[in-house]
Structure 1
Amino acid sequence: MGTLHDPASQSLAAASVLARSPPEEVVADAAPSAAPDKDVLSDVLRVIKLTGALFFWVDASSPWSVDVPRADSFAHLILPRAQHVISYHIITQGSGSLSIGDGPPMEFAEGDILVIPHEDSYAMRSAPGVRSGLSLEDSLDFFRAMAAGQLPFVVNEGGDGPLLTRYVCGFLGCDARPFNPLLGALPPLIRIRRAAGAPSDLLDRLIELTLAEVSAQRPGAECIRLRLSELMFVEVVRRYLEALPPEQTGWLAGLRDPAVGRAVALVHANPARGWTIEELARETGVSRSVLAARFTRLVGCPPMQYLTRWRVQLAARLLTDGLAKVSAVGRDVGYESEAAFSRSFKKLAGVSPASWRSGRRG
């Protein structure tokens, strides 16, 4: 299994790592202008079209076992137009274990929130060794029936044992292509632990609202549940970001770095501007070489490459949702010629802008 990230277990005592880091080279005559008023995480979530897809409740009596196939095998059943499906579970009672693929089991307990961002197959069990015996086709039939409204909102699983585990199952759709910087920054499994007796916070209130909608079953409840599921995912990502250790790399880690985070915010605030590395360095108050090295180390690509990728992602959204000509879309995201735009788009997306539009609308 890949990395498990448990924010509650992360040590925040890594200041010595920063203390050993070499001092940055500051450009003395280049005071940065006011910080751009751009919420980068919200911008990405908007462009990648995060959408609640399916939401139901499971009452599982021991012994119980649930095997969930790769999400790309059932995505077309629950959200046909989504490129990618994220799975999550809220444990409201009981305990069990979850394993990704053939990886080792990770125990969970009441109050935990589990997020599987990368469409991996996984198994949830009441105890090691318990098997469901369901085939892939059985699982697909379940998702097909659930999406069609042919199954009850509360699903009963397992045997007739006394131990009961209750958990919410949620699935979110989003775009993964041409460029989704958030997905690449998330581990295979995120576990958020909500300590018993801790003061109520935003995540607790969102869960309470969701469970209230489940119980009330008022008109419009499904719409509200799906919107609340989107909000819960955003809050989980924020908690993951807040708990990252200082030495962590990745797009989310880059957002909290003063220079890199500011450069990313500038790009998102005005992606059509003809940015250069010199301009971004001047705006962030560090040298060109420092910004390039730090940006590449944290985000995984140089600043200008990130700009190109984000422009193409924006263009993909405009091509999918709008009616503007390809040349107009290219101009809107910063390309002076249709030919240059088409070359950049095809290099990253694998198809021409026109083919992307027809394929996404077909």
Structure 2
Amino acid sequence: MRAVQYRTIGSGPEVVDVPTPEPGPGEVRLRVTAAGLCHSDWFVMDLPEEQYAYGLPLTLGHEGAGVVDALGDGVSGVAVGDAVAVYGPWGCGLCHACARGAENYCPRAAGLGIAPPGLGAPGALAEYLIVDDVRHLVPLGDLDPVASVSLTDAGLTPYHAIVSSLDALPAGSTAVVIGAGGLGHVGIQVLRAITGARVVALDISDEKLDLAREVGAHEVLRSDESAVEAIRSMTGGVGAQAVFDFVGAPPTLEISRRTVALDGVVQIVGIGGGVLPTGFFSTPFGASVRAPYWGTRTEFMEVLDLARTGAVHVEVERYGMDQAVEAYRRLHAGEVRGRAVVVPGE
């Protein structure tokens, strides 16, 4: 089968031929119908050798959807032909976190060598994908896999961050979204769907600010020094009750620090390398700073339910397998509108 792999430290992705995997006991094989690309893939590929810990060669792709193709011994609950999406942050399945569906916070996974697909385990950017357990499959129903696959991360991650901040976002509150790209443009829609907040979107790209308006932002601002004063002005000097930083770079974290309100919350979702100091002489009294990771299985089901109602959608650029390297180049250059999705059959 063909797959998109990272094979050499310091090099980019490659399209290669590899053996088609067979499911072992308890495993499920999917014929992949769609696989999403993510900036975190480039984060992994940009790591120096001494920091890289994902194994080589690595089949990329932690956003996956497919049709059940083969079942390992002992598998029940799904049937060949079922259309499913893959819940990515795999845990041990036995601890307190996993028991409540929060496998994204499993404390045992790393020690047991359990890794998400595309981030240690072979990923979805291939014609076939092995999923370790049926609990990591969620029915897609009549949802289009190409339109929906990015919800496995670009939908779930902002949803998780926003749900954990709901107490800060009653009617009349203000939420700031920094970065209106792949995750941010979905975060804006989630905020509009489940909160009463006024949504202010920031970006350095006019095209992404246009996208932010299209998907429901009440206000859009350039992500620069002027944004702080503008947000303070529109909130009567109070600031934003919640700031969702989908970039995570030092300049955007500084905007987050200076715009969050007293007793507000900053959610650092992006992995742009910034660090935000907190304390009496940095962040406002009562403000919390959180670095959320992915989301729970229950939250993933809720995101798909929002998509079914039309409340949330992902702007998608579609590519064939042979175009995957170019798709990654465009992603790295900031040229993708929304998310890039590879369709292996094309």
Instruction: Work out which structure has the larger RCO, using CA pairs closer than 8 Å and 6 or more positions apart in sequence.
Output: 1
Larger gyration radius, structure 1 or structure 2? 1
More strand by share: 2
More helix by share: 1
- TM-score, length-scaled by structure 2: 0.29
- TM-score, length-scaled by structure 1: 0.28
